Structure 1
Amino acid sequence: MATADAKVVSTEPLEIKDAKWTTLVLINYTDPLGRKRTWEAAQRPTRPANSAVDGVGIVAILEKPDGPEILLQKQFRPPVNKICIEVPAGLVDEGESAEQSAVRELKEETGYVGEVLSEGFGISPVMFNDPGFCNTNLNMVHVSVDMSKPENQNPQAELEENEFIECFSVPLKDLYSECRRLEKEGCAIDARVGTLAEGIELARRWKVL
């Protein structure tokens, strides 16, 4: 059994009353000229009342002797009917901070135990995934994984019965070229991974670091 064994077998309309994770709304608003307009949008109804974000994306850096590697995942995503290349991620639980959520989700999805970076770089500004379509948002949380610690020698994920995730790591310096290679193999690149790769490549080409 592997992630590649999954596939979409059919699709059908979904009534809003039957939806658990998303809903559709019609937004009435006025544009800068005062004209009344409407906008169709999706919303996620699961954000905790005390949270500014729905979830977290986790930039987990494996600290290795030969250089830092970023922890990635392969996960089949039915909406695109492809294996997606993603960073570990998950929804924030009630009463949980983004930092706490990131450490918990990292352990559950990958088995790795990490620490959120400090000095103002641990957590990103609130980011909106696709603001022209939905209100879903997140914090990117930057986590360092000390590979010398015993708990990170043989990490074991704690996946739910409906989760099928394959973890792998890529040297941070090679992330852009790996995204290109994986796309050619038929994988879909999650925007969070692609944006990280683009940023590294831009910094390299324009020598801003």
Structure 2
Amino acid sequence: MPGNDPKPSDAKVLSTGPLVGYSPGIKTTYTDPTGKQRTWESAERSTRPKGSLIDGVGIVAILQKPTGPEIVLQKQFRPPINKVVIEVPAGLVDAGEGAAESAVRELKEETGYVGTVDKDGWGVGCVMFNDPGFCNTNLNMVHVNVDMSDPRNQDLKPELEENEFIEVFSTPLKDLYAECKRLEQEGYAIDARVGTLAEGIQIAKRWNL
């Protein structure tokens, strides 16, 4: 463990190579619209609980502050791209767990924040596929409200696993696009979920939606 207070940026890739004896790869044979037979190579996640429609959740956690709403983000090293990535809290669903329940649990575990999900249809978004040209992984984006007057949100106690090194921070929601640009210039990678949220906010501003 590098240092006394390990940070995501302390991690690094030492080597890469094939994973002997295990292959998540899938070869699909199909016909295109003209009837021509083709093949497609992809990866397949095998951790989806039985009966679940999703693999995991992405969490849009909003801190209700006097200065305006702030979104919870985190920094986490991702070996496949050898970079620290700016992400929203996220995780896999457990067996028998719904998206809202999973999001509240994962938020608490990864950040320490205690939140709630609205039950008016706004809280849980549609099923989204992360990279359908490569993998079958999917998720729900879940919108979680975090009440900063709750004493539990003043003294955060994350419940990270032994292999998790996550740095949590927040940024004003209105500045998310500019913050992504700034962090990218500093060498961080921007997760697509964060980037898409930022782009959406910027589009809404530009077109006065």
TM-score by length of 1: 0.96
> What is the identity, as a one-letter code, of the residue corresponding to 2:36?
R
Q: Partner of 1:110 in structure 2?
A: 111
Q: Partner of 1:152 in structure 2?
A: 153
The alignment-based identity, stated in percent, is 70
Residue 149 of structure 1: CA displacement? 0.5
1:18 matched to 2:22 = yes
Unaligned runs of 5+ in 2: 1-5
> What is the identity, as a one-letter code, of the residue corresponding to 1:141?
V
Q: Which of residues 5, 12, 17 in structure 2 aligns to 1:7?
A: 12
Question: What are the residue-to-residue correspondences of 1:146-185 with 2, within 5 Å?
Answer: 146-185=147-186
For each residue in 1:60-104, what CA deviation from the matched residue of structure 2 results, as whole angstroms up to 9, or x when unmatched? 000111100000000000001000000000000111001110010
Residue 18 of structure 1: CA displacement? 3.2
Question: What are the residue-to-residue correspondences of 1:77-156 with 2, within 5 Å?
Answer: 77-156=78-157
> What is the identity, as a one-letter code, of the residue corresponding to 1:68?
P
> What is the identity, as a one-letter code, of the residue corresponding to 1:120?
G
* The 10-residue stretch of structure 1 (137-146 or 112-121) with the greater mean CA deviation from structure 2: 112-121
1:200 matched to 2:201 = yes
Tell me the distance in 2 between the aligned counterparts of 1:150 and 1:43: 42
Tell me the distance in 1 between the aligned counterparts of 2:163 and 2:156: 20
1:49 matched to 2:53 = no
Residue 165 of structure 1: CA displacement? 0.1
Q: Alignment partner of 1:124: what SS?
A: strand
Detail structure 1 runs of 4+ shifted over 2 Å in the superposition.
none
For each residue in 1:87-125, what CA deviation from the matched residue of structure 2 results, as whole angstroms up to 9, or x when unmatched? 000000111001110010000001110001232110110
Tell me the distance in 2 between the aligned counterparts of 1:18 and 1:161: 24
Tell me the distance in 2 between the aligned counterparts of 1:169 and 1:86: 11
> What is the identity, as a one-letter code, of the residue corresponding to 1:69?
E
How many residues of Structure 1 are paired with residues of Structure 2 in the alignment?
Answer: 204
> What is the identity, as a one-letter code, of the residue corresponding to 2:179?
E
Unaligned runs of 5+ in 1: none
Q: Alignment partner of 1:18: what SS?
A: coil
CA RMSD of aligned residues (A): 0.8
Residue 32 of structure 1: CA displacement? 1.1
TM-score by length of 2: 0.96
Q: Alignment partner of 1:25: what SS?
A: strand
> What is the identity, as a one-letter code, of the residue corresponding to 1:152?
N
Q: Alignment partner of 1:125: what SS?
A: strand
